[in-house]
Amino acid sequence: MSGLEESLYALQWNNSMSVAIVTMISYEYILQLEKEVKFVWERQWSVMTYLYLAVRYFGILVVMFCAIWGGLVYIPEAVSYGMFLFMQWGISAYSCLTKVILVWRLYALYNQSKPILYVLMGLLIPVVALYIAVDVFLWSRPSAISTQEILITQNYKYCTAFFHIGPMPAIYTSIPVICYDILLVVLAITVLVKHLKERKELRMKPNTYIVLIVRYHVIYFVLNLAVQIFSAVLWANLSTEVMNIILLFYDTAPFIIVPRLIISIWETHANDSCVHVSTTFEDCVCWTSPPPLEEHDLEFCIDPDNIS
């Protein structure tokens, strides 16, 4: 294909993916809005409520910037570069928020263990610093990546990004982040294994919420691993088709899955048989007091204010 044909082909792919991103995020928001009103806006707020609202609405903001950037809406090159930086820094900030959510849940799973909280938050600080370093030295340097305005006709043009270095720096910097994610999921699975063993000895069913939360930890781990891999792959010399399909996942999956998993715990509790289900999940005594004749159920106790 000629240069003009390649540009038109790339623009067509970009616009198609942008429409798909807007459609998916909008549909997901409408789909979850009723649950959000019920379990967030009409309930007493907790730490996890604020984290949910952060990932929900900051995520939507970042996604919409990702969708309109490129060619769906014409943006001058100078403005386009600023939007591109906001997108990349925003995605990094969003990733850090998801890790804070995981740390907070582990803190609750380990019976509000201060050492666990301090160690995990202490280890998170260099991870956040690494995200900042990557954004500064990879995504924010024109010598590493730049935006350029592509002229189709005098009245039709769009901006796109050009990668000037290979994927190896992104691969190397993703290793510590993946190691941190592995630590988080291992700690969650360790809690579950211990809990299942104790319940088996007592011939009792596992706590529904512990199983649910650990399952979500595993999903978070797989999602974060995929994001790290795709973030590194973007720096390789990819075809237009592969690049846009990866960006479709990169710009939608984390922003849909993370809020959905948080709110699903509230919904599970609302549909539970707990006699105190009319109270807020944070205040429900099913987490703090043993049900009649089942005192052993609270051998593994969690403060839901840290979970929900």
**Could you report the per-residue pLDDT of 218-264, keeping only the tens digit for each?**
998 998 888 888 888 888 777 888 888 988 898 899 999 999 888 88
Residue 203, both tokens: 């011939």
pLDDT tens for 31-89 read 999 989 988 888 888 888 899 999 999 999 999 998 888 777 777 777 888 888 899 99
Amino acid letter, residue 140: S
What does each C-alpha distance from 96 to 47, 100, 158, 180 come to in angstroms?
16, 6, 31, 11
pTM for this prediction: 0.83
